[in-house]
Amino acid sequence: MNETLSELRGVINNSGYKLITAILVLFIGIILVKYMTKLIKAVLVSSTLDNALVNFILTLLKFLLYLSLILYCLNYIGFSLTGVLTTVTAITLAIGLALQNIIASVANGIMLATTHPFKVNDYVEIGGLGGTVQEVTLIHTVLNTPDGKHVYLPNSSVFSSNIVNFSANEVRRIEILIGVDYSCDHEKVRSIILDVANAHELVLKNPAPQDRYNISDASSVTHVLRVWVLNANYWSVNWDLTEQTFEALRLANIPIPYPQVTVSYRKEG
């Protein structure tokens, strides 16, 4: 390092004219870099790239342009770049080792910004954790969970996890399970359930509501109501149909069984 500083002082003392020229080139180069980055930013912002990715590209581009400009000016005045490049390489390596987790998150953040598996305000499930996407940066993704928690997820873990986007499609299917007694008239039960579903103004008519049932449960016959709704209406319709079908069955005196076990006694001999 001392030898490098001594060489720099010697170059400055012996190259007055070149030094003035290099300073002028540096000044003009800074203006050009700012102008170029503004033009590139305008092009990137008008594209479909994510804002976080645009900012990363601009920051990296500025760094490379300014570094190239400085190295050119030093080389112009006769300063050997061997020591500088060695120092820059050593510093870069040290920073890379110290920030390898952050660098991994940034790399995965770029992939997320490129592939767009979700966007702000989408409701997603990442690695089993559900929430509304509040913010997406190059380092982390922020979720607001339904119970009001603010969760920061590093992009390195986000990109390697299973991602379920519940907001990606315009419509979603609701599935409601309704258990009734084995002794019921199940065609009557089906009719009541479908009447409730078809009467709801937010339930889509195509695909039409559907009811099927199975008899594999121990204490009840389970009817499965399936309806399609707009994504924005998912939860309101879900709660409405759950309450309304239960009330309709109660008013029709359809028994809703409790879990029960039948015990028989067999007399030996």
pLDDT of residue 80: 67
CB 194 within 8 A of CB 151: no
Residue 214 is predicted with a pLDDT of 82
- Cβ–Cβ under 8 Å, residues 192 and 176: no
* Farthest CA pair distance, the chain: 121
Blockwise average pLDDT, block size 10, the chain, 269 residues: 58 62 82 84 70 69 80 74 64 59 66 79 90 84 90 85 90 93 90 95 94 82 94 93 94 83 71
pLDDT at 242: 94
Q: Is 172 helix (H, G, I), strand (E, B) or coil?
A: strand
> What is the CA angle 236-147-156, rounded to 5?
110
| Alpha-carbon torsion, ordered 231, 172, 48, 100, to 10 deg | 100
- Please report the pLDDT score of residue 264 as a whole number: 73
pLDDT for the residue numbered 239 = 95
Residue of 115, 142, 140 whose CA lies nearest to 131: 142
Cβ-contact 160, 169 below 8 angstroms: no
Domains identified in the chain and CATH numbers? 2-98 (1.10.287), 117-165 (2.30.30.60), 171-251 (3.30.70.100)
